[in-house]
A = this chain, B = another copy of it.
Amino acid sequence: MEKFEINILGCGSALPTTRHFPSSQVINFRDKLFMIDCGEGSQLQFRKSKIKFSRLNHIFISHLHGDHCFGLIGLISTFSLLGRTATLHIYAHKDLKMILQPQLDYFCKGMTYDVEFHDINTNSSDVIYEDRSLSVSTIPLKHRIPTCGFLFQEKPALRHIKREMIDRYSIPIAYINCIKNGYDFITEDGETIPNDVLTSDPEPTRKYAYCSDTKYNPSIIDQIRGCNLLFHEATFAESDKKRAEETFHTTTKQAASIANDANVKRLIIGHFSARYEQEELLLDEAKTIFEETILAKENLKINL
């Protein structure tokens, strides 16, 4: 199976602790890298992870709270010091450019590459990135400021053609791609061989959803249904449900019920408040609703 790997660089929340870095993840999809959020220190964690800096061309920022974007200026500067030439694409609320551009102008004189900002609308589910094998869409979330999650969807691969059928029906090479794309084959005698005789299903496509920060928001369920992995914030324990409501965050059990209702395969919770020294308690709470839950952790890699 092609690589589709989630690397957790940081999974704490706004207050620094000795246990966590602020939010950042790197998705490795077939050796193309995509970053989600970039809290302070993300470039240090990135370096530690041994993932190759040069493979990163797209950064998605969920919202403009500091713990999700203060690491951008350092990362961008470092890329310039390293002589990067490829354009770096940043997808974020439109205010990011206004905030970041003056810093780039001041600190990164003689930049060796371009930074291109792409404004995103956090209120609708739009495809904001697409290539031959992957699409990334926004997931509208409900936080104190405009915020969205991101859905990474692998595109369907071509159907597998059965080698023995090529021989049996003497299928010319020129037709093979059509058949992989689902077309039937007509023999020289005029016989139609249906595509499902000639091919088998491709690998099922995989989906990863990142939802942070948000209050409990069941309206995302349809969009994330059946994901292989859902990262959902669970900033608070159930005992701090009131605090979660006030600050537009989610509790452990709320995150788990989203996972359950969306019928995802696995849930990973993160964005832990600094107040919990024993995060196993958060895990235990979530597991009472959704067994297939794990805790996010710095330097954790998950393969889909």
Contacts and interface: CB of A to CB of B under 8 A. Distances in A.
**Size bracket, chain A contacts:** 20 to 34
A44 B46 CA distance: 16
B99 A103 contact: yes
A78 B39 CA distance: 13
Contacts of A71: 40
B47 A107 contact: no
Contact of A47 (B18, B44, B77, B78): B18
Contacts of A17: 47
A202 interface: no
Copies in the complex: 2
Contact of A15 (B16, B18, B70, B82): B82
A292 to B, nearest CB: 31
Given A65-B107, A74-B70, A81 B14 contact: yes
A66 interface: yes
B44 A78 contact: no
In this complex, which of A17, A44, A82 has the most chain B Cβ atoms within 10 angstroms of its Cβ?
A44
What 8 pairs between A and B have smallest CB-CB spacing?
Answer: A41-B41, A40-B74, A16-B47, A66-B77, A70-B74, A66-B107, A16-B44, A18-B48
27 contacts: A14-B77, A15-B78, A15-B82, A16-B44, A16-B46, A16-B74, A16-B78, A17-B47, A18-B47, A18-B48, A21-B44, A40-B40, A40-B41, A40-B43, A40-B71, A41-B44, A64-B107, A65-B107, A66-B73, A66-B74, A66-B77, A66-B107, A70-B73, A70-B74, A70-B77, A99-B106, A102-B102
